[in-house]
Amino acid sequence: MGQGDGGGEVLDIKTEDLKAAAPVFREQSQKLSEALTKLVTTLDDLGKPWGGDDGVKKFEASYTKNQKTIESATATLVLGLVSIHEAMNDMADGHVDNDKLIAGMFTKKKDGDSGHSGAAR
């Protein structure tokens, strides 16, 4: 492979660490989703608690635009956290499958086989 600047260190990923960390992202996405729901419903319940003069109309236009932007950005963050959770689980499963594949390449065949290891010849 290429000459990386990692100082010769290899990334050591443990499936246990991935599986332990993944639920944190799911839990935090749920909490963020709940907070977003509370924000939206609370603001919707308030309606328009301001007056109707020109200054207030300018505020309302800016406020409404920014409210939707915040809601949209927060919803994107929720989806991002969920996808990190799923990716970490997939990565952990991939490591387990890869470890099994590699182990199978270096184990002896059972009776009736030619006696060669499962490694490529």
Residue 32 domain flag: yes
Q: Which two tokens stand for residue 38?
A: 């509370």
- Enter the pTM of the model: 0.56
Residue 62 domain flag: yes
Partners of 48 in the β-ladder: none
pLDDT tens figures, 51-64: 778 888 888 888 88
CATH number at residue 39: 1.10.287.1060
Residue 89 domain flag: yes
36 is in which domain, residue-wise? 15-105
For the ranges 39-53, 66-80, 88-102, the maximum mean pLDDT occurs at: 66-80
Say how many domains are in the chain.
Answer: 1
pLDDT tens figures, 103-116: 677 776 665 555 55
What is the sign, positive or negative, of the torsion defined by CA atoms of 13, 19, 22, 27?
Answer: negative
